[in-house]
Amino acid sequence: MPPTGCWTPADVTAPFSCQAFSAEEAVQIQRMIVTPGAQLTCPRCGGELTSEMPMAGGHSIAAVWEFRCEACRRSLIARDLPVLG
């Protein structure tokens, strides 16, 4: 179980996703995100992980981020990120 936030592999409702990352891969991605200076790479294929501005978020709504790998077409939905960048 990841130490902070809510981390779940993207489901079939994610517009980009063909497949989701495994739970173990989700934890690896979470560790990259919270490590200052770490490069975000796909734990499955080594490709670049990309993300855009949060899909949602506000005063009482948690920000929701989608991290995706264009190379292997996997994605991860994350919210309540403790650190970004």
pLDDT digits (tens, 9 = 90+) for 51-67: 877 776 666 677 788 88
Residue with tokens 């592999």: 9
- Work out how many domains the chain is built from and give that number: 1
Radius of gyration of the chain (CA): 12
- The reply to whether 85 falls in a domain is no
Please classify residue 84 by burial: count the beta carbons closer than 10 Å to its beta carbon, then call 0-12 exposed, 13-18 middle and 19+ buried. exposed
pLDDT, position 82:
56
Structure tokens belonging to residue 80: 């309540």
**Mean pLDDT, the chain, integer:** 74
In a domain, 50, yes or no: yes
Average pLDDT over residues 18-36: 87
pLDDT of residue 44: 93
Name the residue range of residue 53's domain: 6-79
- State yes or no: pLDDT of 16 exceeds 80: no
Q: What does the angle CA 5 – CA 7 – CA 8 come to, to the nearest 5 degrees?
A: 155
What is d(CA 73, CA 20) in angstroms, rounded to the nearest whole number? Answer: 8
Say whether pTM exceeds 0.75: no
In a domain? residue 35: yes
CA dist., res. 85 & res. 76, Å (int): 17
Q: Is 29 inside a domain boundary? A: yes
